[in-house]
């Protein structure tokens, strides 16, 4: 397993994302991922699938200590009492005594995120959370967050068409993990001529070279979602691909500011930043 070192912790650099996976599809997907060799699983309260993720983890036979498990607070769970109650509910659903990483999913609502982080740190001190972090934070917010708490990660949309160079440099400077969600740009990577060309050179597909490009960057992990066993296995095989510097630069050069996840409450809208 390829890992990335963050704050002295080895995190598997390729994880399995469960966004939009529901019911049996979610449980089967997580089970297959664990069988293939994934040891980094990502879910969220908002996804409504923590119980299915927990069932798959419990049935897998994989030692809990070998799995890096992330979940995220719902947008209406930022007040201290809600942080505690919803996280404890997540633990019950996930059938675990702790999560490795608890994130603020989106910096929204009327509660200052510093207050939310303080409540998360209380859970960390109690052993219910190993590390705390954020998701979808812009640069100004991450600078505030790292000044307030030991931020372990910022999870953001990151793929060849949406560069995150400034955030990646902040991750290196402050020693936090930059986790790439939607790393395959919702399938758009398959239609790009440059990515197809690089993939052909490696007898691979565009998804594999994109994942290889991501996980070989400093402080970066990727959490692609997949449903079929074939795609789950294919994504995992990306760990065997070594790109040249020239190939990596070609992929980086595809950035065009194309954001695919853009809800009305997103912080990059100046009216929502807090």
Q: Which two tokens stand for residue 14?
A: 């390729």
Q: At what angle do helices 50-60 and 23-36 cross, to 10 degrees?
A: 40
Q: β-strands 177-181, 151-157: how paired? A: parallel
47 as an active site residue: the answer is yes
Closest residue by Cα to residue 263 from 159, 192, 173, 157: 157
Q: 221-255 burial, b if ≥16 CB within 10 A, otherwise e?
A: bbbbbbeeeebbebbbebbebebeeebbebbeebe
Among 47, 98, 158, 181, the one annotated catalytic: 47
What does 213-258 look like in DSSP terms, one character per residue? HHHTSTTEEE--B--SHHHHHHHHGGGG----HHHHHHHHTT----
Q: Which two tokens stand for residue 189?
A: 């990577």
Q: Which residues are catalytic?
A: 47
């Amino acid at each position: 397993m390829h890992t990335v070192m963050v704050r002295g912790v080895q995190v598997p650099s390729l994880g399995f994302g469960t966004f939009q996976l529901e019911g049996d599809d979610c449980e089967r997907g997580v089970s297959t991922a664990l069988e293939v060799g994934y040891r980094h699983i990502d879910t969220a309260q908002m996804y409504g699938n923590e119980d299915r993720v927990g069932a798959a983890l419990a049935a897998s036979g994989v030692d809990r200590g070998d799995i890096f498990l992330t979940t995220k607070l719902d947008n209406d769970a930022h007040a201290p009492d809600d942080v505690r109650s919803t996280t404890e509910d997540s633990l019950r659903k996930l059938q675990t005594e702790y999560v490795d990483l608890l994130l603020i999913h989106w910096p929204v609502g009327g509660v200052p995120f510093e207050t939310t982080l303080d409540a998360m740190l209380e859970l960390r001190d109690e052993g219910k959370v190993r590390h705390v972090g954020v998701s979808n934070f812009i640069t100004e917010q991450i600078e505030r967050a790292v000044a307030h708490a030991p931020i372990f990660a910022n999870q953001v949309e990151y793929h060849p068409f949406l560069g995150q160079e400034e955030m990646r440099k902040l991750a290196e400077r402050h020693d936090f993990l930059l986790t790439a969600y939607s790393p395959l740009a919702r399938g758009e990577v398959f239609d790009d001529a440059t990515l197809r060309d690089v993939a052909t050179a490696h007898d691979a597909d565009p998804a594999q070279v994109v994942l290889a490009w991501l996980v070989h960057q400093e402080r970066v992990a990727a959490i692609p979602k997949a449903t079929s066993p074939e795609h789950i296995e294919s994504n995992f095989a990306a760990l065997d691909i070594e790109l040249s510097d020239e190939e990596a630069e070609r992929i980086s050069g595809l950035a065009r500011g194309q954001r695919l996840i853009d809800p009305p409450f997103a912080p990059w809208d100046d009216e929502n930043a807090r």
